[in-house]
Structure 1
Amino acid sequence: MRWPSFKTWVSIVTALLVAVIIWQAWPNVVDAWHSLSEVNLWIFALLLPIQLASYAATGEALFSFLRSRGELRGMRPLTAMRMALEFNFANHMLPSGGAAGIAYTSWKLSTLGIPPSRGTIAQLAKFGVTFVSFSILLAAAGVQLIVSGHGSASVLWAAAGIGIAALVGVVVGVWLLKRRRLLHRVAGVVLRVARWGMRVLRIRKTLDAVPLVRFVDGLHLEVRELLASPRSLLAPFLWSFVINACDAALFWTALAAFGVYPDPALVFVAYGVATVASMIIVTPNGVGAYEVVMVATFVAGGLDPSVTIAAIVLARAVLLLGTIVFGWGFYQHSVMTAKAPGLSRRGTVA
């Protein structure tokens, strides 16, 4: 009897994860279906182009950084969009609070000749600038809520706390990556845990520490080069504003489809609080926590609970479907072929 290949197992596991996500979200899907009669479908249809714009901006935040480091200069726009959809699927559908998505994206980029350390730093840089722009927009949203009088104390404190936490996270992350000895210690802990797990599972294979040490050394060098030439962060930083604006606009549009036009500042704070909650809760796509936290923030800001629940549940159901539909095929193709688009004779990424 021939056992399935590793690629097949990865596909099976991913399919099971997607099935679990759909099963968990199914009550929301049913509720969303029943609420369609209350929706202005012309406004609600805007979710599709906004979602695609968010995916494209997310991809450009990553690719623009890599291009500034001499990588992917010949990538075609359609290829960039395709890979952005695939990376978005991996980041949102695979569990582990985004860690699995980072690992997958680094592997995919490595098939294009990008070292794993550079691919990982590119993603961390994207997250870093996104957090910084997120904090700036949160501060602006807080000021707007104070001026307009639409912000309750709980909403304003939530905005302040999340904005500060995002900035602190970026500073701590850079501080850790600048310390080579600390990185080596972390690598040692990871290696010991991995070896212990292999003993428990009775896997007879020796883990070599050299590749892991080379990887963390690569991270350290990439950070030093980045700090020496921070201009490579300018384009990703500008794209990060588009990412945050598009993601928050998705929920403003969903509420507008129900005839509710909330203060955009409140929408951004609710989006920020829910995003942080989904990062802490490691369920794929933050199913469950995201909706509850976002609705609670909107209600604290004075919105009607029944309409808010219907709008957020419907939006999340549609966005979940869009993430699967747009990204699953490209992800599956990469796993089964174990390669990314190749370079054409003219030096462009096909």
Structure 2
Amino acid sequence: MSEVVSTTPAAVVPRPHWYQSPRFWLSAATAVIVALIVWSAWPTVVDAVGNLNRINLWILVLLVPLQLASFAATGEVLFSFLRSQGEISRVGPLTAMRMSLEFNFANHMLPAGGSAGIAYTAWKLSTLGVPVSRATFAQLARFAVTFASFLLLLLVAAGSLLFSGDPAPGVLWLAALIGGLAIGATIAGLVLLRRRRLLHRFAGFVACAADRAVRLFRRRSRIDTVALVRFFDGLHLELRRVLTRPRALIAPFAWSFAVNALDAGLFWVALASFGTAADPALVFVAYGVATVASMVIVTPNGVGGYEVAMVGTLVAGGVDGTVAIAAVVLARVILLFGTIVFGWLFYQHSIATAGAPRVTAAGRR
């Protein structure tokens, strides 16, 4: 008996229009943010271009390799911790460098004081098979060890200024202030993550705040409180796991020293290009004050507050105001340009391929 073959054409599923794709709107929103950053920083760019005839270009070009080294070291703080937990073992050095550039772009260009960058990094790592709670905790661990090494270097810098003969009292007070803030933030985070009941209350507070924010745009809330509590429980379990194996933090802690030294060194090089050999201890304190200011200010990359905080500290330490403004402005423009150029394409590629097959920690697709 012969089989009957249907000649009816199969139904064709229409492809959604480009304007219906969430990826398009996410990419468009990021492009708008970057455009706003460039627009807001344009007067700074003009000032920086006007100062090019005053600088030693051979010294200034050192900012490019230093910035790339800083990106790589920042990524290794995160990746070395994840490797100690058995994650991303198959990720090669070139891929790690690429992700470092991408994460740096997300952390500095996206608004909300770094929280958007944390969420993006956790999402990206989840495509490599890393659980979201572990990816988030790895970033918190990165912040913690970076704060710890920063405090040690800050103590050395403050001691150097104190014994240099004529320290500026204002600079020492600023060093004490940011040191206290760093210690307080680290202790508060550890206490919160170690106490499960307190962590659940915090999760409830976050869910309530998120509900109210969502209701400004929707009638019904879509915040899953149970999932949020499970997420914070995952952070709690990750902390307990690390406390049983504290050696997992040795490599990230070592890399964090390089991160702090390289980031502060970028501004020392900028000052040196203007012929000013500033005290490295003063530059490090100024870098710390500016970094804390950028965490408080929710503008992308801390535009505005970062420059004011750093210049003010340098001037208080005895650096000529004109040179301090010119050097910081020029360095920030170059670093902003490098962040966008090195990270934008990788960020866009990740957004465009968001639906690609995931790679597990063992490297299987």
TM-score class normalised by the smaller sequence: over 0.9
Q: Is the 8 A contact 1:76 1:349 kept in 2?
A: no
Indicate the RMSD between aligned Cα atoms, in angstroms. Answer: 1.9
CA positional deviation for 1:187: 1.6
1:121 aligns with 2:101: no
SS in 1 for 2:20: coil
Of 61, 73, 79, 1:57 maps to 73
The answer to whether the 8 A contact 1:142-1:265 is kept is: yes
- Answering whether residue 343 of structure 2 is matched by residue 327 of structure 1, we say yes
Please, which of 274, 287, 293 is the counterpart of residue 271 of structure 1?
287
In 2, are the aligned partners of 1:152 and 1:301 still within 8 Å (CA)? yes
Judging changes above 3 Å, is the alpha-carbon distance between structure 1 residues 166 and 339 closer, same or farther for their aligned structure 2 residues? farther
Deviation at 1:205, TM superposition (A): 6.1
Aligned match of 1:171: 187
Please tell me whether residue 43 in structure 1 is matched to residue 59 in structure 2. Answer: yes
Q: Which residue of structure 2 aligns with residue 153 of structure 1?
A: 169
Change (3 A) 1:349 1:89: farther
With structure 1 as the length reference, what TM-score do the two structures score? Answer: 0.95
Gaps of 5+ in 1: none
Task: Output the amino acid matched with 1:86.
Answer: E
Shift of 1:4: 2.9
Alignment match, 1:220 = 236
Deviation for aligned residue 1:149: 2.3
Q: Which moves more between the two structures, 228-237 or 146-155?
A: 146-155
Q: 1:252 aligns with which of 245, 263, 268?
A: 268
* 2:312 alignment partner in structure 1: 296
Equivalent position of 2:205 in the other structure = 189
Q: Could you tell which deviates more after superposition, 255-264 or 176-185?
A: 176-185
Aligned to 1:94: 110
Determine the structure 1 residue equivalent to 2:217. 201
Distance 1:247-1:193 versus aligned 2 partners, 3 A rule: same
Measured in 2, the distance between the counterparts of 1:205 and 1:179 equals: 28
**CA–CA separation in structure 2 for the residues paired with 1:137 and 1:110:** 33
Residues 1:234 and 1:329: Cα distance change in structure 2 (over 3 Å): same
> Which residue number in structure 2 is paired with residue 230 of structure 1?
246
State the aligned residue count: 349
Q: CA deviation at 1:323?
A: 0.3
- The Cα shift of 1:341 comes to 9.1
Q: CA deviation at 1:226?
A: 1.1
Looking at structure 1, the residues matched to 28 and 200 of structure 2 have their Cα atoms a distance apart, in angstroms, of: 34
Change (3 A) 1:30 1:321: same
Other-structure match for 2:9: none
Q: TM-score, normalised by structure 2?
A: 0.92
Report if aligned partners of 2:193, 2:199 keep a CA contact under 8 Å in 1.
yes
What amino acid is aligned across from residue 110 of structure 1 in structure 2?
S
Q: Residue 210 and residue 282 in structure 1: after superposition, are their counterparts in 2 closer, same or farther (change >3 A)? A: same
SS of match in other structure, 1:148: coil
Secondary structure class of the residue paired with 1:151: coil
The letter of the residue matching 1:94 is L
Query: What one-letter code is carried by the residue in structure 2 that aligns with 1:259?
Result: G
Q: Structure 1 stretch 142-151 or stretch 326-335: which is displaced more?
A: 142-151
| Closer/same/farther in 2, CA of residues 262 and 200 from structure 1, 3 Å limit | closer
Instruction: Judge conservation of contact 2:127–2:359 (CA < 8 Å) in 1.
Output: no
- Measured against aligned partners, the alpha-carbon deviations of 1:296-329 in whole angstroms (never above 9, x if no partner) come to 1111011111111111100000000000000000
Q: Distance in 2 between matches of 1:41 and 1:342?
A: 44
Deviation at 1:190, TM superposition (A): 2.1
Which has the greater radius of gyration? 2
Contact preservation (8 Å) 2:104, 2:339: yes
Question: How far off its partner does 1:179 sit?
Answer: 1.3
Question: Does residue 4 of the first structure (1) align with residue 28 of the second (2)?
Answer: no
